[in-house]
Structure 1
Amino acid sequence: MTPNQQNTTIFETRFGRIIALKDDGIIRIKSIRYACSERFQKPVPLEYSSSSLITSPEKTPVCPQSLSPLVEKMIGATPVESFEADEATQYLSITRPEIISENEKLPVVVWIHGGSHEIGCGDLATADPAEWVKEQHIIVVTVSYRLGLFGFLGGDEKRPANLGLLDMIEALRWIKKYIAEVGGDENNITLLGQSSGGDAIAHLMISEGIEDLFQRVIIQSAPLGLRHKRQKMSAEFLKKTEVLKDETDVLKMMDEYGRFLPSVIKYGLKAAMPFGTQYGFFPLCKEEESLDMWKKNAPKYDILIGFNNDETAFYLKTSEALNKYFGKGLGLKIMDKTVEKTTELIYGTPAKQFAQNISDAGGNVYLFRIHSKLKDNPIGAPHCIDLPLIFGNESAWKSSELLKDIPWSRIHEHGEKLRALWAEFARTGKIADTSERPEILELRKVQPHI
């Protein structure tokens, strides 16, 4: 990309002269490196001179990872040819309206992607915020960070824990420092995360070094029911993967670590997410202190938290092996009850408890639940169904099994209303009773217990 192209523009910032792309009413700044790191080392913020010319890499940087067959099937095939593996994955991208008024400062939403702390990146087409940005006149920053072995498994001096979380904090510092220079309001920043991204955001709320970096959080489908008593599992997984820590071929690392996963199955449901945030290691407190920390910080943030009605159907009802035995009759009733129970255990009850604890501690918190409402949709409202609602982008979702029997017109109709509500929350920290709700959404402000 060169600065003399008609479809580009240059932002003169203290960080440098950033080249951005104009695209159908929006401006995109793609894959700006906000920090750098050596393997298993803390991120170091990147500094340029204001005269430096900053361009986007040709391919989108992504943390080395193994593709998930389930995600490929349910959400869509990953165009691997357009990505480049980079184990120091500290990049962010900015999407903003092309035209904003002079001196206007737009609310900023920071997207922390999900993927079990193991897969994904900030710049997937299925989470392209362009539609939302144009509709609601906001800025969305998407963040990439270290995953898996590189970012979410540690516990000793050679391999520290929570490096992915530290990457996010560096990204937020960058945003706080520079976002005003591209039209954003540095004092109106909302973190938005889905699945493990929501888990990360919940833990950013109680991390050291986050003072004044954000004002609000939107936590979607966070598996908070898997956060407890993970220490033994993490320590065993760390020890088993010690043989891989110096491997120079990152793709070989991805192939190899999978053979150690069966050894942690004995730890139960939490083994479904072997990587994760780790209590008792910087920047987090001990697990037994976490609830008190959330209560202490409750008044600092506006919170919107919730889940989908049939979260675990994403995993259970899409399994050919399970459907063979539980796809009809009594088996289907057992399957439905299993989805109901596991959704409540992993997502529902923890979200409701989290919301009530925050409210009781003086926080401003809203709780939501997304339903399907379609009679002929056997999968219901599973994990990830909120993504096309929030981001739109029909072309990216056209091959998705998740939406196989759902007309896109329905996704767009409900999504447009949901995007308006989420943007209202990002602007003000509130959602008015008079604001239009899509029929698929249950939403209420959580009142403190007296």
Structure 2
Amino acid sequence: MTDSTTIGTGLIRTGPIRYATAERFARPRPVKDEDPRPSSGEICPQLPSRLDAVMGPPLDTHPQGEDCLNLSITTPARDTGARPVLVWFHGGGFSSGAGLMDWYDGGALAAEGDVVVVSVNYRLGALGYLCLDGVSEGNLGLYDQLEALRWVSAHIAAYGGDPGNVTVLGQSAGGLSIRLLLDMPEAKGLLRRAILQSAPLEVATRPREAALVLGRLFAEALGTDPHTADVSEILAAQRETALANLRLSGSSMEPAFTPVRGADPLHLHGLDPSSDPSANSSFDSFDANVRGLDVLYGWNLDDMTAFPGEGDDTASLTRRVYEEPLALFGKRLARAGAHVYTYRLDWRPAGSPFGATHCVELPLLFGSREAWRASPMLGDTPWEDIDALGSALRADWIAFARTGTYDPRRHV
């Protein structure tokens, strides 16, 4: 059962919709079509974002709980229009954020491009990415995203979308998620195109043994059975684990809970940041999955200004963390037969101390003046200027979703 609301532009916003259910630390199960229960509207329990100082804290609130596998849909019409579909996976370091947040309202994209926009919640932090023997295999958030894509494939035609023309787009951890979904044989055929925005591939995954070390630190901090602990206790243990990870890694950027490399049965190989992120893979689903796929990837000129403590030379850091690993990934895509395009966003909002920082493209694509009100990364740039540039960027993303091509000169 879903509720639909017609909004001022004539668009229909449907949801939240429960696309799957999951017991704690278990894989998701699809929701049966005959399930009459309305969605909880919950987002995954989470601590404040590490990027609040850059983006500002979210101005909307949603109930937090474990019945969080919900998505929302914005569509021009519930008809037989067979429109291109854009499925959004949010960022947040695998520990914060939600597709239901006002930041990720796809109304402008849907209205300007006559496309259907789907925004997805998935499990975060320990609930989504804990790796601990006898408790959680890890990578549950990835399985949530896979289940969301299956739901879209099965149901999006009823919302005016074309299940054969799905573009998956994600930023930061959402972009990393897309990269890893390309390794999953189960994802083949669920997407036609992909857009990866500022995906820091060198922190995409953690080796299983290293993940188990952090899992044991989490269990020690929790001090009780993870299956029955209160959510507040889990979040407190998450915070302690994040501090321990900061001491161990020395990195303010690397999350404590990330996808696990080499976890059985999901073999995510070949993401060694010291080499081509995929070239030494012994897992052959990647080549089969991406052959013929249209892929657009890119980064922001000053991405690393969002992560103080990583170093003063943010230009060099941005090249090392974003540009160089993404370039290697692009070469691997091309060798496998994908159609590959790249972009770099250089926009530095007036009055912002962060420049073309991590996340700065988000208000160009999603959300509204109200959702992004007083965001530090936007400085004192008038919303009219933001929306004008956003209109051009949205046109590029819409054209890619329709045609699979990207021309950076189109709006220069």
TM-score with structure 2 length normalisation?
0.89
User: 1:385 corresponds to which residue?
Assistant: 360
| Counterpart for residue 85 of structure 1 | 64
Asked which structure has the greater CA Rg, the reply is: 1
CA deviations on 1:277-299 (whole Å, 9 max, x unpaired) are: 11222563242485444344331
Relative to 1, partners in 2 of residues 1:149 and 1:392: Cα closer, same or farther, differing over 3 Å? closer
Distance across 2 between alignment mates of 1:249 and 1:295: 42
Describe the superposition over 1:106-138 as per-residue Cα deviations: whole angstroms up to 9, x where unpaired: 100000011000001111111111111111110
Q: Which has the higher helix share?
A: 1
**Partner of 2:137: helix, strand, or coil?**
coil
Q: Percent identity between the aligned chains?
A: 33
Residue matched to 1:310: 302
2:120 and 2:205 mapped to 1: Cα distance? 26
Q: Could you say if the C-alpha distance between residues 201 and 36 of structure 1 is closer, same or farther in structure 2, counting changes exceeding 3 Å?
A: same
**3-state secondary structure, aligned to 1:368:** strand
Q: CA deviation at 1:392?
A: 4.6
Give CA-to-partner distance per residue, 1:332-365, whole Å, 9 cap, x none. xx83xx1112111211111111112211332101
Matched residue type, 1:246: H
Letter in 2 for 1:399: A
Q: How does 1:5-16 map to 2 (within 5 A)?
A: none
- Which amino acid is the alignment partner of residue 267 of structure 2? C
Amino acid at match of 2:69: Q
- Over residues 91-113 of structure 1, what are the superposed CA-to-partner deviations in whole Å (9 max), with x where a residue is unaligned? 11111014x7x532110000001
After superposing the two structures, state which structure 1 stretch, 40-49 or 241-250, moved more. Answer: 241-250
Q: Is the Cα–Cα contact under 8 Å of residues 207 and 283 in structure 1 kept in the other structure?
A: no
Instruction: Name 1:370's counterpart in structure 2.
Output: 345
| RMSD, matched Cα | 2.4
Per the TM alignment, residue 239 of structure 1 is displaced from its structure 2 partner at its CA by 0.8
Following TM superposition, by how much is the alpha carbon of 1:272 offset from its aligned partner in structure 2, in angstroms?
2.2
Instruction: Give the ranges of 4+ consecutive aligned residues of structure 1 lying more than 6 Å apart after TM superposition.
Output: none
Cα separation, 1, equivalents of 2:117 and 2:197: 16
**1:231 aligns to 2:213 (yes or no):** no
Cα pair 1:161 1:282 within 8 Å, conserved:
no
Q: Residues 394-433 of structure 1 correspond to what in structure 2 (within 5 A)?
A: 394-432=369-407
Counterpart CA distance in 2 for 1:420 and 1:235 is: 44
Q: Secondary structure at the match of 1:142?
A: strand
- Following TM superposition, by how much is the alpha carbon of 1:406 offset from its aligned partner in structure 2, in angstroms? 2.3
TM-score of the superposed pair, with normalisation by structure 1 = 0.82
Q: Secondary structure at the match of 1:29?
A: strand
Change (3 A) 1:55 1:405: same
> How has the CA–CA distance of structure 1 residues 398 and 178 changed in structure 2, closer, same or farther, with 3 Å as cutoff?
same
Secondary structure of the equivalent of 2:144? helix
CA-to-partner distance for each residue in 1:17-61, whole Å, 9 max, x for gaps? Answer: 533111111111111111111111111111032xx656454xx31
Q: How many residues align?
A: 396
Mapped to 1, the partners of 2:172 and 2:85 lie a distance apart of: 20
Matched, 1:189 2:157: no
Shift of 1:373: 5.4
Q: Could you say which residue in structure 2 is the equivalent of 1:44? A: 29
Q: Deviations over 1:138-190 (max 9, x none)?
A: 00001101110011121534211111101111111111001111111010001
Contact 2:345 2:356 in 1 (8 A): yes
The unaligned stretches of length 5 or more in structure 1 are 1-16, 323-333, 440-450
- Give unpaired runs (5+ residues) of structure 2: 272-277
| Cα 1:270/1:355, change in 2 over 3 Å | farther
CA contact (8 A) 2:180 2:268 kept: no
**Aligned-residue offset at 1:251:** 1.6
